[in-house]
Amino acid sequence: MEGDPEDPSRHGNKMAIKKLVLTGLGFLFLGLGAAGAFLPVMPTTPFVLLAAMCFSASNKKFYDWLQRNSFFGPYIENYRTKQGIKKSLKIKSIVFLWTGLIISMALRRTLLICIILGIVGAGVTIHLLLIKTRKV
């Protein structure tokens, strides 16, 4: 019977759609994570972790690729093993963050935007400083 909830082919279609949606979300989150590597107000790690979660539930090939990727893989490994991040990376991240924020503030010259960017910068800086520092 068509539309029968017990029909195995219907279950297969739902699983295929779920995998397709999760794979698409994985790429969306990965793109946002990549943007976060260059935009000071966007985080990288949460989006990369969300991408990994989506790929792990939908496409082992993409999940394995993401873990082996030289740029994104360490984000997942450091989170999984709770090793933290190197002190040099913290310093570079904070310098890059504030450089981008100050340039943005100078270009916009709007008090409200400067306040918002300052609050975001302070929050991200505090977050980075609270992450465990990995011993090399």
pLDDT of residue 41: 67
Sign of CA dihedral 125, 128, 133, 134: negative
pLDDT over 70 percentage in the chain: 90
pLDDT at residue 66 tops 90: yes
Tokens, residue 31: 């793109």
How many C-beta atoms lie closer than 10 Å to residue 52's C-beta? 24
**Calpha distance 19→63 (Å, rounded):** 13
What's the confidence (pLDDT) of residue 11? 64
pTM of the shown model: 0.61
> Which pLDDT does position 1 carry in this prediction?
47
78-123 confidence digits (pLDDT tens): 777 877 777 877 887 788 888 888 988 999 889 999 999 899 889 8
CA distance 129 to 9: 51
pLDDT computed for residue 10 by the predictor? 63
Q: Taking residues 36-54, report their average pLDDT.
A: 81
Q: For residue 63, give Cα distances in angstroms to 84, 115, 135.
A: 21, 39, 27
Residue 15 in this model has a pLDDT that exceeds 80: yes
Residue ranges of the alpha helices (H) in the chain?
A: 8-36, 45-58, 60-68, 73-81, 87-108, 111-130
